Structure 1
Amino acid sequence: MPDPIDCRSGLAALPAVLLDRLRQADEVLVLTGAGVSAESGIATFREALTGLWARFDPAQLATAKAFIEDPVRVWSWYEGRRAQVLAAQPNPAHRALAQWGDRHGRLHLVTQNVDDLHERAGSRAVIHLHGSLHAPRCFECARSLTAPALPEAAEQLVAPPRCPACGGLARPGVVWFGESLPEEALASAWALAERCDLCLVVGTSGLVQPAASLPGVARQQGATVVRIDPQPAADFSDDWQLLGAAGVILPALLERL
């Protein structure tokens, strides 16, 4: 298996066989993680525990139990995260993937991120494995709800709105600890992993299950797996590792395809 390739100063070291695999791919699956959003300035899950929230553990804010005990606190923290996302802009990695999707026609984007930066960059039919900050639903009846206007102050405590159908409280549309991933999203991602011939893993540690299993599923079916991340993976089971920022590597790859 090839050694990781340092791409921080350019793609001159990319072997021709890898470029050929990228150019010839028929079905492309792209799995993105927090590292892609971080390049737009989005704090990771634990980094978001600052200011008013610094004394809380994520488990105190990202569970159904926490919401039942203090819905105002939990809702307000997630609204603060949504405000941060809406203030951010898609970065070159988001835009390159959207352009690649337009050009290729069979590039399928699966993300572990709960923001909408892929969509704002122009990607369509994005599969959100961990839900979305922009798609709240009723805690009681699961009805999809419209996200309300954001509070004026970033750390302002605000009560969640009520469901117009049953009167239940709105909850963030994300997957909390102890919850299963959305069945339809996971099934779609799994099916894509089973039929793709190229799998790009971008900005994710590959430790969070079940999303972490998708590259392995693709590889078992004969797909080429390419990981793009500033840090080498501890468990190097991929075909190729490209070390560097996604916002640098993906646009450069797109130019060479």
Structure 2
Amino acid sequence: MKDIDKKIEGKLKQKDSKPDNPASDSEDSVSFDLTPELSKDLLEECKKTNRDPTEILVLLGFPDVAAMLNCMDKEDLYPVLESILLDPNPVAVLMSLEKQMSSLKNHRKKLESISTEEDVMKALQKANNIIVITGAGTSVSCGIPDFRSPGGLYDQINEKFNLQDPHLLFDINYLKTNPSPFFEFAKQLFPSADLKPSFSHYFIKELENKKKLLRHYTQNIDMLEQVCGITSSVQCHGSFEKAKCITCPSTMTGNELRTIIHNEGIPYCKNCSDGKSFYKPSIVFFGEALPDEFFQKIEEDCNKCDLLLVIGSSLQVEPVAHIPHFINEINPETPQILINNEIVGGAHEWDYFFEGPCDDSIKSLSQKLSWNFFATPNQKT
């Protein structure tokens, strides 16, 4: 038996030897600690032996989380496991995911009450607590490529850098050991001052103007939701708005960071002056936790939500990918609408699917609703 298995078994025996806790849904009911040392051991064991990470999650007592990860692409598996195990509170994350996964063994079924575009329009007119999830698809018409499509950012990374996996460019541990590739590529990641929001962005702003928007959860880092004035946004994966030194508390603005990257390359910290410490933009890398704001708002928002719109997202990155499932668990009668180039979410059934470019579907829907809001999107023809 491998040393890591013995270590896990020892932890589980500690768990079994303690009295049961009646508060089974609380973190206290897990009476072993997934310490930073053990977490690092798990990750090192997986990478060193090329072991299936899901086996370790089963040993830890999270079989449904393991089943969820088994459905993912191999290239996404290790970054997700790393982001979970290196979270400041990995046990809480695993328990939350396990609870949600257990409830999802019977996947969401489509509502019979929504079958036409007219039904969607009625749902939009009726709803007052709409959650919108957006991904890269909302910004493609602005001239920003998405990640996974042919010719997208991952393809560009593969062409430009000799990396085993394009995800490494956004891995926090890889960044700290070799920051050059990211900051070279960051020159084209920085949002251009000339970019204007898409029609999809202005649609979300219109929902806010009509006091229908509860929250906008964006996975994008381009800050275009700020440009069109949306105030109810949570930037799940951060942005280039500011940067902080990886060693000391020193910070700088996004504009200062942009200038240094374009002129000097790696933005080394002059306060540290050690030739190693640099400013990292406030985007969320693989291996980092999402902003506190996400966890502070998501549970309450999901309880209030009366309509979910998913626009231009592949729904492949956790925990944002499971917001539709969280909402369904709380209220299966909450309508869920997908606007995207393709069906996403696996077996999850959407009540209505608008297929094609986001702006095209939203323009058509807005015209039928007679929502003649002003927008000047920088859309490609």
The TM tier, using the shorter chain, reads 0.7 to 0.9
1:104–1:135 Cα change, 3 Å: same
TM-score (norm 1): 0.82
- Answer 1 or 2: higher relative contact order, Cα 8 Å, separation at least 6: 1
**CA distances 1:118-148 after superposition (whole Å, capped 9, x unpaired):** 1112211310111112322221245553122
Counterparts of 1:218-229 in structure 2 under 5 Å? 218-222=327-331, 223-229=334-340
Moved beyond 4 Å, runs of 4+? 151-154
User: Match for 2:204: what amino acid?
Assistant: L
Give the Å deviation of 1:72: 3.4
Contact 2:130/2:306 (8 A) holds in 1: yes
1:159–1:28 Cα change, 3 Å: same
CA distance in 2, matches of 1:174, 1:142: 17
Query: Which residue of structure 2 aligns with residue 119 of structure 1?
Result: 226
Query: Which residue of structure 2 aligns with residue 209 of structure 1?
Result: 318
1:149–1:59 Cα change, 3 Å: closer
1:99–1:143 Cα change, 3 Å: farther
Give the Å deviation of 1:150: 3.2
**CA distances 1:231-257 after superposition (whole Å, capped 9, x unpaired):** 123434222222122112223333406
> Which has more helix, going by share of residues?
2
Give the Å deviation of 1:228: 0.7
Contact 2:169/2:182 (8 A) holds in 1: yes
Equivalent of 1:48, from 153, 168, 175? 153
Counterparts of 1:70-81 in structure 2 under 5 Å? 70-81=178-189
Contact 2:131/2:216 (8 A) holds in 1: yes
User: Match for 1:138: what amino acid?
Assistant: C
What is the aligned residue count? 246
Equivalent of 2:123, from 21, 24, 31? 21
Query: Which residue of structure 1 aligns with residue 361 of structure 2?
Result: 249
Give the secondary-structure state (helix, strand or coil) at the position aligned to 1:145.
strand
**Worse-superposed segment, 60-69 or 212-221:** 60-69
Query: Which residue of structure 2 aligns with residue 199 of structure 1?
Result: 308
User: Match for 2:366: what amino acid?
Assistant: L
Counterparts of 1:64-213 in structure 2 under 5 Å? 64-83=172-191, 85-141=192-248, 144-147=251-254, 148=256, 150-151=258-259, 158-162=265-269, 168-213=277-322
Give the Å deviation of 1:92: 0.9
Contact 1:230/1:243 (8 A) holds in 2: yes
Give the secondary-structure state (helix, strand or coil) at the position aligned to 2:132.
strand
User: Match for 1:88: what amino acid?
Assistant: L
Query: Which residue of structure 2 aligns with residue 10 of structure 1?
Result: none
User: Match for 2:153: what amino acid?
Assistant: A
User: Match for 2:354: what amino acid?
Assistant: L
TM-score (norm 2): 0.57
Give the Å deviation of 1:96: 1.5
CA distance in 2, matches of 1:144, 1:125: 25
CA distance in 2, matches of 1:204, 1:20: 24
Equivalent of 2:141, from 10, 32, 39? 39
Unaligned runs of 5+ in 1: 6-12
Give the Å deviation of 1:54: 4.2
CA distance in 1, matches of 2:188, 2:247: 23
Give the secondary-structure state (helix, strand or coil) at the position aligned to 2:300.
helix
**Worse-superposed segment, 243-252 or 169-178:** 243-252
Contact 1:162/1:170 (8 A) holds in 2: yes
1:15–1:62 Cα change, 3 Å: closer
Residue 59, structure 1, aligned to residue 167, structure 2:
yes
Identical-residue share of aligned pairs (%)? 23
